[in-house]
Structure 1
Amino acid sequence: MVTPENMPAEGGGQRGPLFDRNGVPGASSTPVDMDAAIVLLGAGVTAITHPLLYVKLLIQVGHEPLAPTVGTTMFGRKVLYLPGFFSYARHIIKVDGKSGLFRGLSPRVMSSAISTMVRSKVKQAVPMEDAEHVSNRDDLKTSLRKVVRETSHEMVVQCLSRIATHPFHVISVRCMAQFVGREVKYRGLFSCVAKIFQEEGVAGFFVGLVPHVLGEVIFLWCCNLLAHFINTYAVDDNFSQAPAVRSYTKFVMGIAVSVLTYPFMLVADLMAVNNCGLAAGLPPNSPIFKSWVHCWRHLSVQGQLFRGSSFFFRRVPVAVTALE
């Protein structure tokens, strides 16, 4: 579950060359230069992807302002198709203008920058041992301890980064969720901080933190261990393309595992907006959840644990007789 907020700052804390205007590495590059470049890159990616995450958040909270359309699957089954990303985005533009697609962007940019700095500082304070070179199948079989050590280090970095940036995630989610009830409760970054602290105290900045951290920890361990075992036992060294296959294994496993851990992210987002005074987190739009476990159980019973995981081909099965 790599997002712009938790993009790994591989250069953080390590001295490396930056390129000048002529494409020549700068001789005076410092870790600060690398961090600054990563912060700018993260801000750019965050801004570009924000409309996607905005639409996703509104779908997650169950806001469906557009009527579904009747369609037919390739097997001839009649279904109701919910609006996809482009239809939803056009609706937001119609209501709030093009700038409306970037509601809640500033706290996400702040979150991305803080995540980069925290990762850099943690890696400087707790450096990971040099990676061992793995050259053949025998080495891979004996490298499980190395994978566990690297994953543990990555987990510590990720958890500290999530704790530091979660308050900004809560602010961003609430700013975006205001679209549902057309509220103006959360506007500026500083006023949001004051409002949350006044109404909920420090705990208000960390609602939904537990499922978020759990989801990311499970993702890290499953992704790294599955990639290790597949590279060790499923990829034959005699295969000429074995190195290339192994280089993509972790990427493919990341996609697969992110689908399985998506419910944790959904629950975290719903808890961030639940019972905070916004229509999106109050009845009749949403029950008031006692805990994130209560939220998980409710979604499970409703069959909605993967709500918002897809932007396209969202459909609601209906009885064929009702459409004829």
Structure 2
Amino acid sequence: MTFSTASHSSSAQAQLPQKLPPGNTITQSKQTGGVVPKKENKPEAKPLAHFVAGGVGGMTAATLTSPLDVLKTRLQSDFYQDQLQALRASHPVRPAPSIIALPRSALLHFKETFQILHTIYKHEGPRALFKGLGPNLIGVVPARAINFYVYGNGKRILSDYLGYHDSMTTPWSVHLGAAAIAGMATGTATNPIWVIKTRLQLDKSNAESGKGGRQYKNSWDCIKQTVRHEGIRGLYKGLSASFLGVTESATQWVLYEQMKIFLARREAAKLADPYHVHSSWDDVELWGGRIAAAGIAKLFAAVATYPHEVVRTRLRQAPVVPVGGGKVQVKYTGLVQCFKVVAREEGLAGLYGGLTPHLLRVVPSAAIMFGMYEFILRLFGTTS
């Protein structure tokens, strides 16, 4: 009597667990009781979607927060630090117990911030609140587009290479690596734009000092003067501080991703609960949580790494050009030298000049930008 080895082997193989490709889940067949793979509805990877979403998000946030960006840049410069000191001298504050001093100092800082903002509006007009917005948008749109594009696709490539196919189990080191690469690529590509934007925002009327009008007519004139007096290298002033600023963007991305993972796990737990009834409040909680996560991540990252912002602004300031057309006089010559000069002349507080308007701008800006980023990715049929 002969036995069919073919039927026996196929039966045995059917009982062996089969290795499934990543992205599949296992369900039980109602007809046969066997185990069958079921594919997840994983969003299709669309690399250019990150580029468009990042650019639109950056443009929206930069336009809405432009007045605070102008104020922040001015308070980071040494000229407006002198103006702030004069404002404080005209309104001396009596000493107070330490329990009251800290909150009073914070309230005073906010008051001074809006007083200077009102002064800009009163003496220079409403257009001054949007000074530098043109080069700012020219810088923000490609900067955010490049940053989100490199980060989004870099995270996906690193995750696939290292074998992490589930976003909720991807380690923070992947996010850190992708953010560092994105930050350096963005800083190198857009540094000349930020130099021009900074110099235009710091270009003040010299009527009170009898020196005539403004130094720069427009963005193009600023580029020509910078190259004439400092060469092409002048357009890359502050690049070293920009690379130092990669720590801020990397910290922000890591914190944001970790908070998003927490929100995703919370959403998954709700979906797994058979008694949970999905409502519009769940969508509000998910999207509101992501927007809040972006703002909180930016808040912590900005406070922790803020001194590099001041140093970067100082390095990008226009040098003093003598009337006779002689050599330019440069006060800040390098990253370390700039740190030392600011700390020596203004104390450690000088490294946090403009922090209040900076936080007032970047926290809502981050919330707006990341919210738009996530929303536009959804319109493209993909996710971050």
Common fold, TM-score beyond 0.5?
yes
User: Which is worse superposed, 124-133 or 42-51?
Assistant: 124-133
CA distance in 1, matches of 2:357, 2:141: 27
How has the CA–CA distance of structure 1 residues 112 and 251 changed in structure 2, closer, same or farther, with 3 Å as cutoff?
Answer: closer
Q: 1:290 aligns with which of 311, 320, 333?
A: 333
Q: For residues 220-252 of structure 1, what are the alpha-carbon distances to aligned partners after superposition, in whole Å with 9 as ceiling and x for unaligned?
A: 4445567789999xxx99xx89x98x9777753
User: Which is worse superposed, 177-186 or 79-88?
Assistant: 79-88
Aligned to 1:52: 68
Question: TM-score, with normalisation over the residues of structure 2?
Answer: 0.56
Q: CA deviation at 1:57?
A: 1.3
Aligned to 1:272: 316
Q: 1:218 aligns with which of 247, 260, 277?
A: 247
CA distance in 1, matches of 2:87, 2:152: 52
**Partner AA of 2:200 in structure 1:** C
Q: Is 2:222 aligned against 1:187?
A: no
CA distance in 1, matches of 2:299, 2:219: 33
CA distance in 2, matches of 1:265, 1:95: 27
CA distance in 1, matches of 2:152, 2:93: 55
Q: Does the 8 A contact of 1:43 with 1:113 survive in 2?
A: yes
How has the CA–CA distance of structure 1 residues 87 and 226 changed in structure 2, closer, same or farther, with 3 Å as cutoff?
Answer: closer
Q: For residues 101-120 of structure 1, what are the alpha-carbon distances to aligned partners after superposition, in whole Å with 9 as ceiling and x for unaligned?
A: 11111110100222245347
How has the CA–CA distance of structure 1 residues 94 and 124 changed in structure 2, closer, same or farther, with 3 Å as cutoff?
Answer: closer
CA distance in 1, matches of 2:302, 2:77: 20
Q: Does the 8 A contact of 1:51 with 1:102 survive in 2?
A: yes
Structure 2 counterpart SS, 1:184: coil
Question: TM-score, with normalisation over the residues of structure 1?
Answer: 0.65
Q: Does the 8 A contact of 1:71 with 1:81 survive in 2?
A: no
Aligned to 1:67: 87
How has the CA–CA distance of structure 1 residues 108 and 311 changed in structure 2, closer, same or farther, with 3 Å as cutoff?
Answer: closer
How has the CA–CA distance of structure 1 residues 86 and 264 changed in structure 2, closer, same or farther, with 3 Å as cutoff?
Answer: same
Aligned to 1:85: 113
Aligned to 1:165: 190
Q: For residues 81-137 of structure 1, what are the alpha-carbon distances to aligned partners after superposition, in whole Å with 9 as ceiling and x for unaligned?
A: 5652321122112221111111111110100222245347657986733563266xx
Give aligned pairs, total: 263
Q: Does the 8 A contact of 2:70 with 2:201 survive in 1?
A: yes
Q: CA deviation at 1:60?
A: 1.1
Is there any run of 5+ residues in structure 1 with no aligned partner, and where? 1-9, 15-30, 279-285, 313-324
How has the CA–CA distance of structure 1 residues 47 and 251 changed in structure 2, closer, same or farther, with 3 Å as cutoff?
Answer: closer
Q: RMSD between aligned alpha carbons? A: 4.2
Is there any run of 5+ residues in structure 2 with no aligned partner, and where? 1-44, 208-212, 271-284, 323-328, 359-384
Q: CA deviation at 1:254?
A: 3.7
CA distance in 1, matches of 2:153, 2:250: 22
CA distance in 1, matches of 2:332, 2:258: 39
CA distance in 2, matches of 1:71, 1:206: 42
